[in-house]
Structure 1
Amino acid sequence: MSELNEHIFDPQLRDYESQIIDFFIKEGEIRNRGKKAQLIYAYLLIHRQLTQNQLAELSNLSKGYISSALSSMQNIQLINRKMIPGTHTYKYSFVNDNNFFGFRESSKLVQYYNNFERVVWSEIKKLENLKCEEKSQKRFLITRMKDLIRWTQAVTKIICEQEGYKNPNADKYPNLLNTQLYNSNNELEFFDYEPNLVEFEKNFIDIILSMDNTFRKDPILILEGFFLTRKILSQQKIEELSQYSRATISKSISKMLKMGEIQKIPKSNALISGYKAYIMPNVTEVQLLMQISTHEQILTFQPAIKKIIVELKTNKKKLDRLNGYTEIQDITSKLEEYFSHHEQKLKITRKICHEIKDIQILTH
């Protein structure tokens, strides 16, 4: 098999490849990832290493887009490239495809969330010492920050229970999973912060976003930050805080509504008269609901992948000599582990939902 067509699987295996690619595209939709980016991820995961020309032939994407996407993936150290000897052509591959599947080292994830929790507690102390005319505004912002910590504690507990780890932060800080943060009677509470709180808020959002080494100032991330601290935002307030165009804001808001991160406040509610308004009522609840929904949607594709695995085993003698068999077998084995991972995580997440006092999440 020459290098010119080694990436083209035999016809009997292309149907399996197409089904797996389709899964990754739909999985990307669930996670709000773009179809083009998902195609590149999927083909690299299946084929292990590809040139730009091979990616273009498989995906039908433009070489310009592929070049830009690969460059971005290199910048965040997701992929690497290696020159083919005797040529000026590079082959691209994942540094560790486990990162894409979410099988990152659990100890590192726990370390990240522990550090995140430490930083937010530290910011809360700064806020407590900040001079503020409106004490109710300060209390509200502290509650929102504690809600973020509570989500961090929830996700850390999920990881530790799944992997059998002890949480290093378990005895360092108050357990907010057992604390009622919100009064349900004040669901539509709204504050327009005084100037010193606005300054603190912007610095805080920059701090929590910059903790992720893949951070880019994506509009959705910025808006998520302001919804985190404000709970309720009007269209006008979003423009004022973010300085983004109306078109950019509308696009971001549409995605956040689709993902279930925020809800639209009915026009009949006169809380913010004359403007479209949106609410992120409870950070922990929103994140847990999104996580449960993501697990459930991804698991709907499990039967189709299991069917491919059975057919590969049943027809092994016919298929194992064909180009692409090893790659298809390898990716379906990873997907089998991936689905098992989601099943376990879903079970633990539902269990933890019942431990949190002031949220009501309906679980199956």
Structure 2
Amino acid sequence: MNATTARGALLAALACVLVGGSFTANSVLGDYPYAGGQFLRYALAFVLLVPLAGPGATARLRGLGAGGRLRLVLLAAVGMVGFNLAVLAAERTAEPAVPGVFVGCAPVVVAVVMPLLEGRRPQRVVLYGALFVAVGAFTVQGWGRTDAAGIAYSLCALAGEVGFAVLAVPVLRPLGPRLLSATVCGIAAAESAAVGVLVDGTAWLPRPDAVEAGALLWQAAVVTVVGFVCWYMGMQRIGAERATLFSGLIPVAAACTAPLVGTGAYGAAQAVGSALVCAGVAVGSGAVPRPRRRKAEAASPRHDTGAGAREVPAGRQRLPERSLE
């Protein structure tokens, strides 16, 4: 793993740990209107991100064209507002572990979908790592009571998590992580306001109390501003497939922080699941180097004369290895 890949992995890991730790903040926002809370979170994040967007932001946005700008609207609607709405709807008839298990399958879906969209085959090592991550996420969270509606909304949440990565890929390079984060937060704030007015009417944006204000400030300044920028910087360096592997750290971070606020316990299942997630991330992201075959000696007609030796014609050079795609 070179320096760029290592830096990208650390950025993606930090982003997902921040998101997982934010579940403790969500626990104190249960009585606050959902859409109003999302509006405050994304609007404040937008205000904080705009000065970081860099010069020429307007020109870069215009350069995307209508198709690129539509993709930004979809990214905010599907991967941010829609994802959170789907999780909320799923938890009405299902225990929280159910949508968590479905979202934990996002690395597997992205490991398959992203290469196919780019006209190549999935990388086996990434797919194997994603499977480990999904199993680990399931082990951390377990399963819970649900019904058909809970499963349907959980599938929508999975689609939102996948869309948050896949839809960003074509616009990440021209916009950069900071401008992309600022733009989608501004769009998500507007979309949340529209949802709030339609669903909650005039009561969509009450004044938060001190505890709710602190939780919203944490979500906006730390989870959204720092988390989103780190996520997209990491994805820019290691790609969507490997970056999404780190989403398995979200339930791990949530499980680790839940005892701090008395909303859960960290036991043997969480420890085993955390180990599986870490193993999958390490393998799929390339943190664990794969063993390489020893190079053949060009001057020697064969490597060995012992049992299982394989003859190599003199002068024949082995072709360089390439990644499995």
TM-score if structure 1 supplies the norm length?
0.33
TM-score if structure 2 supplies the norm length?
0.36
Q: Which has the higher contact order (CA 8 A, sep 6+)?
A: 2
Larger Rg: 1
Please identify which structure carries the higher strand content: 1
